[in-house]
Amino acid sequence: MKFFVDTAEFDAIAELHELGMVDGVTTNPSLIKKSGRDILDVTKQICDLVDGPVSAEVTATDADTMISEGRKLAGIAENIAVKVPLTWDGLKACKVLSDDGHMVNVTLCFSANQALLAAKAGATFISPFIGRIDDIGLDGMELIEDIRTVYDNYGFETQILAASIRSVNHVLDCARIGADVMTAPPAVIKSLVNHPLTDKGLATFLADIDAAGIKIL
């Protein structure tokens, strides 16, 4: 499973990139706002660092303006994936932009039917929002399973990009089901290393080293 980092904070991306943990990046206007930087400048800087897809989201809601914005964003770098919402206008924009040869990430997906439409419109990525489905008392992982089944049934090449990841269990469940990609904030990705038995074992190890007076350097 590929790891995308869900942030526009360049230093956080660079830290994970150095460890080989970044296969791509997802941004949106809210994340750009948090970074406090111009959308074109920060997106270009991220694209220069990361080889994989970098999702940059349009701000319009009508198809024609989405297409114009998408083409401008795609001009930033070859690895831009234009992010559009899963609306009828968004699907129109997806079709045109994908026909132009651009990667398109269709976001705000909450049903397998929506994912089916996005695949038929030529989406490179579909972004189902797991955490937000959990918030309304449903099971976000069932959506990932349903999309995986539908796509496998018909050989769609659209990649499932699991979004709204909030926990290490979300990551593991997505990997078990077979999501192609997951995107998560840097803190969630870094938390995958944590386990209480690792902490306990390391504490015992350090105590033994101290008692034995062992030094390597």
* Residue 197 lies inside a defined structural domain of this protein: no
**pTM, two decimal places:** 0.94
In angstroms, rounded to a whole number, what is the distance separating the alpha carbons of residues 137 and 114?
20
* Residue 214 lies inside a defined structural domain of this protein: no
Residues in the chain: 217
Placement of tokens 């869900």 in the chain: 6
* Residue 217 lies inside a defined structural domain of this protein: no
* Residue 19 lies inside a defined structural domain of this protein: yes
The pLDDT value recorded for residue 96 is 98
In angstroms, rounded to a whole number, what is the distance separating the alpha carbons of residues 9 and 36?
9
The pLDDT value recorded for residue 34 is 83
Q: Which residues are catalytic?
A: 83
* Residue 175 lies inside a defined structural domain of this protein: yes
Q: What is the pLDDT of residues 82-115, one digit of tens each?
A: 999 999 999 999 999 999 999 999 999 999 999 9
Which of 199, 127, 207, 211 is closest to 163 using CA atoms?
127
Q: How high is the mean pLDDT of the chain?
A: 96
Structural domain that includes position 101: 2-192
* Total of domains in the chain: 1
The pLDDT value recorded for residue 36 is 85
The pLDDT value recorded for residue 153 is 98
* Residue 63 lies inside a defined structural domain of this protein: yes
The pLDDT value recorded for residue 30 is 86
DSSP-derived secondary structure letter, 216? -
The pLDDT value recorded for residue 35 is 84
For CA atoms 96, 64, 94, 33, the dihedral sign is positive
* Residue 47 lies inside a defined structural domain of this protein: yes
CATH of the domain at 112: 3.20.20.70
* Residue 216 lies inside a defined structural domain of this protein: no
* Ranges under pLDDT 50 in the chain: none
